[in-house]
Structure 1
């Protein structure tokens, strides 16, 4: 196998040298072509074509004060939920010719902070953030420095900070109430850390379902914290549950669909039938949920709408400035019942 050394990207100086003009003339051809004679302009354009020169849009926008980039930090771009949310963000930004810079915090506040600092250094017009903790001071400080901020998949606790979120307390209650209604009185909830708002709210919703059914959650709801909010974390949590000598729950509610994927994988390997021996409910209703060997019951979130609306709030804030009226938008989830929890 042969390898080739990547060719250095052509610079504006290379174009000027080949066209035998000044760098300023090349800049005029790119930005103010009416100032350049047709003959010179054609010579510069020929050089651009030969060198496959790509103008540095970011640098040009910085000089003109017209950066049209938005940054977004989500918990984990590897989670299909956030991929679909990001697509909603991107679709809305594209309508106004903005571009998206996307990063994952991996549920780490320090990593989140690094990306926010990087975005600010790049001069983004605003940021969309799925907070990895309840500490919003860094975001409020960023906003005080002139960067527009909108919370994504989180409800703002202050009226002058916009947000777009889903009612996760209601979603958690939907999931647990469904399992209770199908006869389960001892349910495991595979959760993440309570420092993450979604984990805390979905657990609160499950507690509400037990209370509404007149059941004691202290006996019937077994919370297990997964080491990570993905399939491997779900598998580890399920193995821990199966190894526990306490009476085994007959159903599992998972904080997201990736965790549920790991739970299902473990149940199949251990020969535990779904839903007759163990019912499983996920959360998010990502694109693979209905395609699993045992289709997954899940709480559906309007993922694309969530991202689209958050981006819409950010662009409106950018456009209107001090005239912008902050909003805390909240969508409602719905339960999609499939074979993982319903024998019928």
Structure 2
């Protein structure tokens, strides 16, 4: 293998293949892209040279010459969250048949970090972006469309008519969780929620309140809300410790967590405090990630179609890219389901 000036191996080029096979660069190109235009004998000779040199075509250069970059960028709130890992798999499964590559990043719920990745994706010439917005304003995200980059909002809803989105009815999902706890007989319910800069947290709180009001309960009497800064297990654990500091006579007997990640932390705090689940504290999560039924106490959770969310968002983006902007934007809203397991029971 040839080396660069710094002594490192140099990637074999199409010119190296042509020289090894004793043919023109154009012939090698035809073997790679239009093999039917090359005689079988020549194809075999070129393929032998490719194998000997371990040649791999430079797809980026080829796409640049063709004027089409087959790459899609995605930004989610937190890749450590299993929910977004499962969503990302759905995206990949839709992109793969069309030979698109996925560039994936976490905003960590930080608008500045989100904007930085959007800029990097644009510099790389992605065909479009899928974004779970980290704040209420969509100005930075939607500005990409003016520069020819397709946008689909992922795990989000929007009132903007000319942008596609794929999400879940989080108001209804949270209401399902609270209705379940009320049906079990819980009179004091805690809600571990995230910052109101995240749309899902706002919608899920609205669902909690709506369910209480519909049941004829005063949220001020029933609900204890603890707001955390991040939607992760450590935040959920800290929030549960706050709840356990409440006098047992007034302490909630059930906790609804804004997502399964915070629920994992809440369960960890309960285990360390020797508080039995569900006998002394019922716990409900949200997302129904793959590990929810595998926990020591299987977690009752609001199920979201994670794989379908990612697949559908990627499909909308590819359809809009193929239509070159001449398409009707869609807002897809899936309905959640409550999956009851052994982490919930009556008080």
What TM-score comes out, normalization by structure 1 length? 0.90
Partner Cα distance (1:171, 1:222) in 2? 19
**Partner of residue 194, structure 1:** 196
User: Does the CA contact (< 8 Å) of 1:154 and 1:163 recur in 2?
Assistant: yes
**Over residues 152-207 of structure 1, what are the superposed CA-to-partner deviations in whole Å (9 max), with x where a residue is unaligned?**
10012211101010000111111112112212222111111110011111111001
Where structure 2 has 5 or more consecutive residues not aligned to the other structure, the ranges are 1-6
Give 2:261's match in structure 1, choosing from 253, 258, 261. Answer: 258
Which stretch of structure 1 is more off in the superposition, 309-318 or 136-145?
309-318
Residue 177 (structure 1) aligns with: 179
Cα separation, 1, equivalents of 2:112 and 2:22: 49
Residue ranges of structure 1 left out of the alignment (5+ in a row): none
Equivalent position of 1:336 in the other structure:
339
Task: Give the aligned partner of residue 104 of structure 2.
Answer: 102
Q: Secondary structure at the match of 1:323?
A: coil
Counterpart residue number, 2:4 = none
CA apart distance, 1:273: 0.9
Check the 8 A contact 2:153/2:313 in 1, yes or no.
yes
CA–CA separation in structure 1 for the residues paired with 2:217 and 2:242: 25
Structure 1 residue 242, shift from structure 2 partner: 1.8
Contact 1:76 1:82 in 2 (8 A): yes
Q: Which residue of 2 aligns with 1:203?
A: 205
Pick aligned residue for 1:282 from 272, 281, 285: 285
Within 2, Cα distance between the matches of 1:275 and 1:38? 70
- 1:99-135 CA deviation, whole Å, 9 max, x = no partner? 3222111111112112222222222211111111111
Cα distance in structure 2, aligned partners of 1:14 and 1:302: 49
Distance 1:78 1:276 in 2: 30
Runs of at least 4 residues off by over 3 Å? 5-47
User: RMSD between aligned alpha carbons?
Assistant: 2.5
Q: Within 2, Cα distance between the matches of 1:327 and 1:130?
A: 16
CA contact (8 A) 1:274 1:280 kept: yes
Mapped contact 2:186–2:346 kept (Cα < 8 A): no
Matches within 5 A, 1:242-321: 242-244=244-246, 247-321=250-324
Of 320-329 and 333-342, deviating more is 320-329
Distance 2:251 2:10 in 1: 62
**Distance apart, 1:19 and its partner CA:** 5.5
Query: How much does 1:313 deviate?
Result: 1.2
